[in-house]
Structure 1
């Protein structure tokens, strides 16, 4: 490992406060960080893709991407099926070596392990990889929702130099052919990451993205308050493709972080965009048919028609950008689109732009959530503890808001981690945290981020999560219990402050004192560790005695009920009153009421594999959704 890469690894180690004595294991984490940052820029993603272990000798990381989201559970698959009625899936495998060359045996072992992952049978993998194999099987079970088969990308990372050795190329080609012969994939790519590429990827993560476009046909807009410069005009589509594509030809995910819509795949609207590009006679009309792109940049350097933009986000136009990227070989000079380019660093102005440019069509609740005033206040509340390092945390509302020297990443709490920690610790639902955060936001929309809420429980839960992750990184808690970290947060709250939580309103001094009692424990790391070790021992004992499948217990309400039976009282019971397997939905009536709750077929499939669920009794949770109350976590009684 050369000195530059070694310094990058040390920087990563400091940034995330890893205290990993095994340097090979640290390099695995570093390598996974390089890849997942390209795929899904959320700091909590690293732990989700780390699968390296003694039983996984050929695979160090696996990121399963569905509809452009990193997923780890079948419930997340269900969510995207219900939301979009389609699945677009990519499997991204990572293997890293600190060796100074690409070795034939290592590459061969990597490809063999990936091939074994997709085979049926009893595999001797670690629990994390076995759970991801279950997820893979569930994805293929719902393959009817796919427009195309999944893709595989194999990232092999070493500190050597890739020179395209013929023996290695032959091994790679044979491995790709073997995988393609299974007819499970539409494409398989082997991507070597050598020393130069490692440096390039890490610099890209740490630095602000700068790109240059030729924007000849533009008009300068008049001066606008809190806006440095703004332009309106027509941009050749090739210029947009140029700034949205990295050096590997992949679309840059990070520049769409502030866009309220993720790419929806080739749904009806996006298919229409594709048809316009494919039709040679309609290409020149694209500029008339498309709503255009809005780019917000923090800085701009203009020389004639050459615009160099830095630290920018595409806040409207995610769909168009992705479709054009997919069809980049068909895009010619006839394809142009409207562009609005705005230079500002004022957060409120950026929020107003995002809201205005995305108000024409339906947008998911989670998309606009971070723009609410509540989150600005929460960020300021977090910052009020900045004078004491033991208390200091950062609430991140925007992509890379605290990148670089602004904050160590271990101290940063994102929207998704804030939701998970609060739902687990103060809403008594640790088993639900494996669900997609947008679903949790919708399910608890009347109990999360309310304007009259006290900010103390949010900071307390964020602090608790930060502290327990610190203990896991330092090896002070067993890695075998890490998947139960959200259960331990709930257990800590009850153990320290009592089971009954005071009502959450901003003026409630009882709630403030309740939270400060927990914070006092967490601010003293020695005392916090003693408490977590005690609770971990109780968790291990319960896990040893459960009859449930241990590697999936963290996501099962039944285990939470065994562990903390007094906090799971809201379970509902009932029977199905209507179910149409063809249309994929039904209704279940809550016992003792006239209330019918919507059920999606995916919930019924998991709970009951018979021909009809009628006359059977189920227990279930009720979640809020776009369709009203919806039954989740159904179990046959």
Structure 2
């Protein structure tokens, strides 16, 4: 492995607080992280993706993405389909990682065979628990395609530390794998991407570098001064200049569109109409027929004359327009212009208001409105009162801390993670952690169980910090990997082990604050925490029996058994 790749991998290990993996295992995690970050710009737990090890069917990582949501269970897919009414974008991603300095045709064929076998109704290869769980989710989705608008995309990434040279024999192997997958008639698109050391380094750099672009912007007017806005412009851009902002050699830059309320809707009536306009004699009227694009950036510099540099920017409306322009880039004439508004601000409240206002014609979900919620603003401020090893970062707005390189990524708490951790520890609902968090939010919010203005903030922080500590132990193999799917149950059990024979205090009481401080003391003491976690794992092992069956972690019956067992344990 070359020094640059190894250096990046070590940076990744530090960011993820990984200390217990050998080089081969670490490279698998590193490769999976880099590849998935390209397809999914939100934060994710790498242990939910990596499948490598014994009986992995030649697949080191599997990810399922539906409507920009990373799917971890059949129930989460069903909840998402119900909440959004239809799945418009679906991807199955398979990753194989080798530390070898060369690309091996046999390994490529084995990887392809493993993917093809996994897609069978009755797979023949032996599968470990992680592969089997992903296989079951994919099988469930393929059996419920009435909920999906288009066939899924199948993306294969084969990663090595070597140099890809378009070798004819290797290209032939890749085409053979794609042909085998195509014959299954399951996918709308199949791609097989060989990732060499240079490309892997680029993928990792993309996860830490602030996104930048330079445009020529002569047709503009300067908007008046506004409070908390550094500068703002209104104008038009040639379509080719606009595409420099939204795409690179790999295609659309997904991360800059992630604040949009909706993902790309594909060839629906509106998008077909946009494409027809672009390819018609009225293409020059596109600028007055389209609503235009709003861009927010942290830094905007007028380099020279009409040339501007944008740094750390987001397109907050115009997802559909951006994709259609990109898909028609080869045929767009130089007469096509895009109406554009560029706003430079680093004030989060201003950003949130712009996002909400520019998307008001689209239904905004409860999950998306949370960033504007006063409770969540105050909760974020509460997180900021902690420092040192206790510091976590509550990310109430998507990718809020992505460009802050000094933050260890595992210390970022997303809204989804917060909801699942709090619901598991203090609402005794760990079995629902595998569900789509929007469903869990709706059910709990309607009853006032979560994000209640009277709740003690410390309960939210402590549940997230406990999850962070437990996930650290799992990542670094201080807890057996088989308990990973029960990590939310461990949160609940930990609470009851601390409570003993006492009742849980009310979430709005001062007693809850005192109780949470007691839990904090245990979390801060590694020896004590290990003792409590060992007890929790023993309770799970005794009560569940078959830990390899992922369905056991999803039942209220198991939750009740674990709760009752924990309540009688004396530490």
* Structure 2 CA distance for aligned equivalents of residues 99 and 70 of structure 1: 29
Q: What do the CA deviations read for 1:522-557 (whole angstroms, capped 9, x no partner)?
A: 1112101110111101101112179xx823211222
Matches within 5 A, 1:30-179: 30-82=30-82, 83-123=84-124, 124-179=126-181
Evaluate the alpha carbon distance shift between residue 174 and residue 146 of structure 1 in structure 2; reply closer, same or farther with a 3 A threshold: same
Q: What do the CA deviations read for 1:172-194 (whole angstroms, capped 9, x no partner)?
A: 11111111112111221111111
Evaluate the alpha carbon distance shift between residue 46 and residue 277 of structure 1 in structure 2; reply closer, same or farther with a 3 A threshold: farther
- 1:532 aligns with 533
- For the 8 Å contact 1:36–1:45, the answer to whether it is kept is no
Find out whether 1:321 has 2:322 as its counterpart: yes
- For the 8 Å contact 2:210–2:403, the answer to whether it is kept is no
- 1:304 aligns with 305
- For the 8 Å contact 1:156–1:191, the answer to whether it is kept is yes
- For the 8 Å contact 1:543–1:550, the answer to whether it is kept is no
- 2:443 aligns with 443
* Structure 1 CA distance for aligned equivalents of residues 301 and 274 of structure 2: 32
Q: What do the CA deviations read for 1:147-169 (whole angstroms, capped 9, x no partner)?
A: 43222111111111000111101
Matches within 5 A, 1:407-556: 407-445=407-445, 446-498=448-500, 500-505=503-508, 508-544=509-545, 550-556=549-555
| Paired residue secondary structure (1:564) | helix
- 1:243 aligns with 245
* Structure 2 CA distance for aligned equivalents of residues 281 and 541 of structure 1: 72
5+ long unaligned stretches in structure 1:
568-637
| Paired residue secondary structure (1:337) | strand
Find out whether 1:369 has 2:370 as its counterpart: yes
* Structure 2 CA distance for aligned equivalents of residues 452 and 281 of structure 1: 60
| Paired residue secondary structure (2:11) | helix
Evaluate the alpha carbon distance shift between residue 233 and residue 26 of structure 1 in structure 2; reply closer, same or farther with a 3 A threshold: same
Q: What do the CA deviations read for 1:45-69 (whole angstroms, capped 9, x no partner)?
A: 4222111121015111111111222
User: Given the two structures, how large is their TM-score scaled by the length of structure 2?
Assistant: 0.93
* Structure 2 CA distance for aligned equivalents of residues 233 and 484 of structure 1: 53
User: Given the two structures, how large is their TM-score scaled by the length of structure 1?
Assistant: 0.83
* Structure 1 CA distance for aligned equivalents of residues 203 and 343 of structure 2: 27
What is the Cα deviation at residue 12 of structure 1?
0.6
Q: What do the CA deviations read for 1:591-617 (whole angstroms, capped 9, x no partner)?
A: xxxxxxxxxxxxxxxxxxxxxxxxxxx
- For the 8 Å contact 1:230–1:340, the answer to whether it is kept is yes
- 2:352 aligns with 351
| Paired residue secondary structure (1:120) | coil
> Which one is further off, 288-297 or 255-264?
255-264
- For the 8 Å contact 2:86–2:149, the answer to whether it is kept is no
> Which one is further off, 496-505 or 304-313?
496-505
- For the 8 Å contact 1:264–1:319, the answer to whether it is kept is yes
* Structure 1 CA distance for aligned equivalents of residues 80 and 337 of structure 2: 32
- CA RMSD in angstroms comes to 2.2
- For the 8 Å contact 2:239–2:325, the answer to whether it is kept is yes
What is the Cα deviation at residue 221 of structure 1?
0.7
Find out whether 1:206 has 2:208 as its counterpart: yes
| Paired residue secondary structure (1:475) | coil
> Which one is further off, 117-126 or 193-202?
117-126
- 1:285 aligns with 285
5+ long unaligned stretches in structure 2:
567-571
* Structure 1 CA distance for aligned equivalents of residues 208 and 87 of structure 2: 34
Evaluate the alpha carbon distance shift between residue 429 and residue 460 of structure 1 in structure 2; reply closer, same or farther with a 3 A threshold: same
Evaluate the alpha carbon distance shift between residue 267 and residue 425 of structure 1 in structure 2; reply closer, same or farther with a 3 A threshold: farther
- 1:608 aligns with none
Q: Which has the higher contact order (CA 8 A, sep 6+)?
A: 2
* Structure 2 CA distance for aligned equivalents of residues 439 and 271 of structure 1: 32
- 1:628 aligns with none
- 1:338 aligns with 339
- 1:230 aligns with 232
Between Structure 1 and Structure 2, the one with more helix by share is: 2
Evaluate the alpha carbon distance shift between residue 146 and residue 395 of structure 1 in structure 2; reply closer, same or farther with a 3 A threshold: closer
Evaluate the alpha carbon distance shift between residue 86 and residue 270 of structure 1 in structure 2; reply closer, same or farther with a 3 A threshold: farther
* Structure 1 CA distance for aligned equivalents of residues 286 and 422 of structure 2: 45
What is the Cα deviation at residue 407 of structure 1?
1.8
What is the Cα deviation at residue 458 of structure 1?
0.4
Number of positions where the alignment pairs a residue of Structure 1 with one of Structure 2: 560
* Structure 2 CA distance for aligned equivalents of residues 43 and 476 of structure 1: 23
Matches within 5 A, 1:4-43: 4-43=4-43
- For the 8 Å contact 1:259–1:315, the answer to whether it is kept is yes
* Structure 2 CA distance for aligned equivalents of residues 192 and 286 of structure 1: 38
What is the Cα deviation at residue 13 of structure 1?
0.7
* Structure 2 CA distance for aligned equivalents of residues 277 and 84 of structure 1: 30
- For the 8 Å contact 2:352–2:371, the answer to whether it is kept is no
- 2:569 aligns with none
| Paired residue secondary structure (2:310) | strand
- 1:380 aligns with 381
| Paired residue secondary structure (1:435) | coil
What is the Cα deviation at residue 272 of structure 1?
4.4
- For the 8 Å contact 2:89–2:150, the answer to whether it is kept is yes
- For the 8 Å contact 2:89–2:265, the answer to whether it is kept is no
What is the Cα deviation at residue 120 of structure 1?
2.2
